Chain A
Amino acid sequence: MHVLLLEPNTLLAQTYTQALQQDGFSVAHAASAQTAVFAADKHQPDVVILELQLPEHSGLEFLHEFRSYPEWKDVPVIVHSMLPPTQTIQVEESLRRDLGVKALLYKPRTSLTQLLQTVREQTREIQNQSEKMA
């Protein structure tokens, strides 16, 4: 399973990448929205982990762009952000309903164990769906 990790902080990205790889995922990392679009094209991710606060274009802009491609419209996206819930709560419904965000995690309160658990849940769901279709 391929994970696209959008994380602007290099050290956090290394930590999350290592944890995901040890859990059996292959990881492509991007630090900005533009690089992430290229990385998505190259690696065709099964799951995206997205920070909303990115340099230049925001995570929301990336998400709109990402969802505009038919091949990525059903790829589960996990928002994992430094933005506090008091701010994301205003856009939570639209993120879930319109942009297919499966989970909203507040980075300062989310352990690696919780993040890995959420990614596993999403990949399990993908596997269940593809088994149903087969």
Chain B
Amino acid sequence: MALNNDVRPEANELLASVAEQLKVPLAIIARQAELGVLQGRRGLADTPAAQVHGFDAATIATQADAALMLVDSYLLGLELLRTQTQLELEPVSVSSLLVDAAHDLHGFARQYGVTVDLDMAGRYGPVMSNARGLKAALLSLGFALVEAQATQASDLSESVGKKPARVLLAAHRTPHGIVAGMYGTNQAVSASAWRRAQALCGKARQPFAELGAGSAAGLFVADTILRSMESRLRVGRYLHAGGLAATLQPSQQLQLV
């Protein structure tokens, strides 16, 4: 799923229609599995959706929802690229969005044995962004980083003993604005690796091999959405953890903090 503005328009149209169609089976899987979870809680073990012996319905539901979220964010990114439009900027509370994103990531991360922590250094007024776009970007980034953290943690545990994987969602103030990002304790992301990955997006099967084994699609989707909000994803460090973050401009509206 390359988010590439240079590819032939019909290729993007084709990918968009595939992605649109994928939402249906993913929604079926997610909701069927959720129904199984609900029926399990109510003790309705003999109902069809609960009769998936040997499978963890909660894992299926969470993973399908994560895939659905990625496909949906991809479509949003593609639409923004195709129409060359910017998301409408509005005052957005970065703290509450990070809390929301941490909450949404929690179930997914737990399945991978990754802890999600929040760190807000100080109190912030609103930033100029788009709430839906920023949340989609944060979640796309988060799902990708959680997977990468889990892979790196299990790899490290093989060689040097168990090391807990952790993703830190954080915001801090800099002279350039409010930096909101996600950082991991295990990976060492360098700016040059991220630049190389961006250049390889859509051209290589594994453009960001330093981070993980997959296509790192979530990172490119997040970057595309952020670019439509006058921001971008950059490599950053926070509290001895490395990751990716975006700088957001404070809103000039009346602030209490």
- Give chain A's interface residues, CB within 8 Å of chain B: 9, 11-12, 15-16, 18-19, 22, 82, 84-86, 107-109, 111-113
- Give chain B's interface residues, CB within 8 Å of chain A: 23-24, 26-28, 31-32, 34-35, 38-39, 42, 44, 47-49, 65, 68-69, 71-72, 75-76, 79, 132
By a CB distance below 8 angstroms, the chain B residues around A82 are 23-24, 27
A82 to B39, CA, bound (A): 25
By a CB distance below 8 angstroms, the chain A residues around B28 are 9, 11-12, 15
Q: How many inter-chain residue pairs (CB < 8 Å) link A and B?
A: 55
By a CB distance below 8 angstroms, the chain B residues around A9 are 24, 28
Judge whether B38 and A113 touch: CB under 8 Å.
Answer: yes
Residue of A nearest to B61 (CB): A111
Judge whether A108 and B26 touch: CB under 8 Å.
Answer: yes
Interface SS of A by simple majority:
helix
Judge whether A84 and B27 touch: CB under 8 Å.
Answer: no
Residue of B nearest to A82 (CB): B23
Residue of B nearest to A18 (CB): B35
Judge whether B34 and A111 touch: CB under 8 Å.
Answer: yes
Residue of A nearest to B133 (CB): A86
A8 to B153, CA, bound (A): 44
Q: Which of A18, A19, A84 contacts B76 (CB 8 A)?
A: A84
Shortest CB-to-CB span from B145 to chain A, Å, is: 20
Shortest CB-to-CB span from A69 to chain B, Å, is: 31
